[in-house]
Amino acid sequence: MSEPIVQYKDVHKSFGDVKVLKGIDLDIHPAEKVAVIGPSGSGKTTIIRMLMTLEEPTSGDIIVDGTNLWKMEKNGAMVDANEKHLRQVRGDIGMVFQHFNLFPHMTILENCMTAPINVKGEDKKEVEQRSMEMLERVGLGDKFDNYPSQLSGGQKQRVAMARALVMRPKVMLFDEVTSALDPELVGEVLEVIRDIAKNDDMAMVLVTHEMDFALDIADKVLFLDEGVIAEQGSAADVIEHSENPRLREFLSRFRN
Ligand SMILES: Nc1ncnc2c1ncn2[C@@H]1O[C@H](COP(=O)(O)OP(=O)(O)OP(=O)(O)O)[C@@H](O)[C@H]1O
Ligand SMILES: [Mg+2]
């Protein structure tokens, strides 16, 4: 099998005295689609926020494409990473949030273009071309000049996806991206993610409560419980066949 694109090695995270993650070991391979499920407060968001450099691990290592994310070498010793190192290594990671996080004063085309131009220093024409392609891909080819306030929640979430795709990440993180949407808008967003999952070769990590969706697209499912990976395996093994009582109890809440 290929070298992992992301590795967590004995990663712990505490907020004050509260131990939220208690030793996470995880390999994510190129093109692998990983679904993360688990009860509220189990640490799902914290796991992906550390990879996006939004939270710093209390201990342990996160390796991205062979490079330690949170530590760097200086004069032969490993020291805390500086901003420049974090920015460089994070360049391979894209994230879509629950609440879109679009810039309200920019059109949706400008929302897609700003980071590649202003953070990565890419050529404006090239970025504009790619942004239009990605917006077309998520079904918003007729909305380039609209502002986020003029869009539905599902459309905003599709802009957020196009914006992440324009950065050409090697790993895309999705944190419950449908849970803030009205129920009738969930389907269109899942459909776009499904299209990306089936056609793109980047790795994806999806925190989700959509079990049928996870069964459909995930190569691997993790059940996070009280800060540890309590179960992991193929989607069918974890969602359909596991006998772990806490996992069964968790899943029973999604059956109707
Ligand atoms: N910045 C923070 N400061 C203090 N505590 C935090 C912080 N972020 C998260 N926590 C705590 O860490 C625990 C795990 O939070 P996390 O958001 O990772 O859970 P989650 O599995 O994503 O839950 P949910 O399904 O509700 O989104 C929770 O108890 C939460 O209150
Ligand atoms: Mg969360």
Domain for residue 77, yes or no? Answer: yes
Q: What's the gap in Å between 41 CA and the centre of ligand 1?
A: 5
The ligand 1 atom at the shortest distance from the C-alpha of residue 21 is: 14
Q: Is the CB of 64 under 6 A from ligand 1?
A: no
Give the range of the structural domain holding residue 46, as residue numbers without chain letter: 6-252
Domain for residue 159, yes or no? Answer: yes
Rounded to 10 degrees, what is the CA torsion of 244, 33, 11, 64?
160
**Nearest ligand to the C-alpha atom of residue 44:** 1
> Which residue among 11, 15, 209 has the greatest number of ligand 1 atoms within 8 angstroms of its CB, and so is best to mutate?
15
Q: What's the gap in Å between 40 CA and the centre of ligand 2?
A: 7
Residues 6+ apart with CB under 8 A from 7: 26, 27, 28, 61, 62, 63
Q: Considering its fold, how many domains does the chain have in total?
A: 1
Does the pLDDT value for residue 247 go beyond 80?
yes
Domain for residue 90, yes or no? Answer: yes
Nearest CA, atom 4, ligand 1: 15
Residue 36 near residue 21 (C-beta atoms within 8 A): no
The DSSP code for 148 is G
Domain for residue 232, yes or no? Answer: yes
pTM of the full structure:
0.93
Domain for residue 73, yes or no? Answer: yes
Print burial letters for 206-241: b (CB count within 10 Å at least 16), e (below 16): bbbebbebbbebbbbbbbbbebbbbbbeebeebbee
pLDDT tens digits for range 164-222: 999 999 999 999 999 989 999 999 999 999 999 999 999 999 999 999 999 999 999 99
User: Which residues have CB atoms below 5 A from the ion given as ligand 2?
Assistant: 44-45
Largest CA distance in the chain: 59
pLDDT number for residue 69: 96
Q: Is the CB of 15 under 6 A from ligand 1?
A: yes
CATH number at residue 241: 3.40.50.300
Alpha-carbon gap, residue 161 to 154, rounded angstroms: 11
pLDDT tens digits for range 66-125: 999 999 999 999 999 999 999 999 989 999 998 888 999 999 999 999 999 998 899 999
Helices 153-166 and 124-137: crossing angle in degrees, nearest 10, is 140
Q: What is the mean pLDDT of the chain?
A: 94
Residue 209 near residue 176 (C-beta atoms within 8 A): yes
Domain for residue 24, yes or no? Answer: yes
Domain for residue 108, yes or no? Answer: yes
Domain for residue 1, yes or no? Answer: no
Q: Is the CB of 75 under 6 A from ligand 1?
A: no
